[in-house]
Amino acid sequence: MNIPPGLSSVSLIVLYLLLTLIAVFVVVVLWAQIGCIRGVPFKNPDGTTDDWKEQKMFYGIAWADVAVACPAALVGLALAFTAARWGFYLLALVSFWFLWANVMTTVTSLRFERPKITLHWFIVFPLGALVGLSYIVWTFCHFEAIYGL
């Protein structure tokens, strides 16, 4: 890995943890959104389902994730290990997408009659927002070391 100079051991551990979380999250999102595109209804934690045939917005979000966000995240992860600065740029943009998209879906999930705050709900809705926000905060904390400005 082309490690930016000036990062402490703790910062590197947090970076590797965030990169791992981003990778896992991208795989989960990619799997779920490909299912959505194929017409598989998504079961919500409260027992309701989201089906793109009834809610066209889900189809557009699925295509945006599959065609833009997930590939950009995978390229960003690869670049973080080869050309760190470009990888960090791309991952910052993807993290903003994760933050925005998952805040939107978390708020949408609150429309449920009685949402059950379970591990499944947490993984489906706010986890991506927390991962995105964490990476953005990490970037701000280490902005000078990463971008050398």
Count of domains observed in the chain: 1
| Measured CA angle at 127 (ends 117, 125), to 5 deg | 55
φ, ψ of residue 65 in degrees (nearest 5) = -65, -45
Please tell me the pTM assigned to this model: 0.85
Residue 113 domain boundaries: 9-147
User: Rounded to whole angstroms, how far apart are CA atoms 134 and 60?
Assistant: 26
Is residue 54 domain-resident?
Answer: yes
Paired with 49 in beta bridges are: 43
Q: Looking at the domain assignment, is residue 105 inside a domain?
A: yes
> Above pLDDT 90, what percent of the chain?
40
| Residue 114: inside a domain | yes
The residue among 68 and 109 whose pLDDT is bigger is 68
Cα 75 to Cα 87: distance, rounded to the nearest angstrom: 7
Residue 52, pLDDT > 60, answer: yes
How many Cα neighbours within 13 Å face the side chain of 14? Answer: 14
Q: How far apart are CA 136 and CA 144, in angstroms?
A: 14
User: For residue 4, is it within any domain?
Assistant: no
Query: Residue 75 domain-assigned?
Result: yes
Q: How confident is the model at residue 37 (pLDDT cuts 50, 70, 90)?
A: confident
- Residue 1 covered by a domain: no
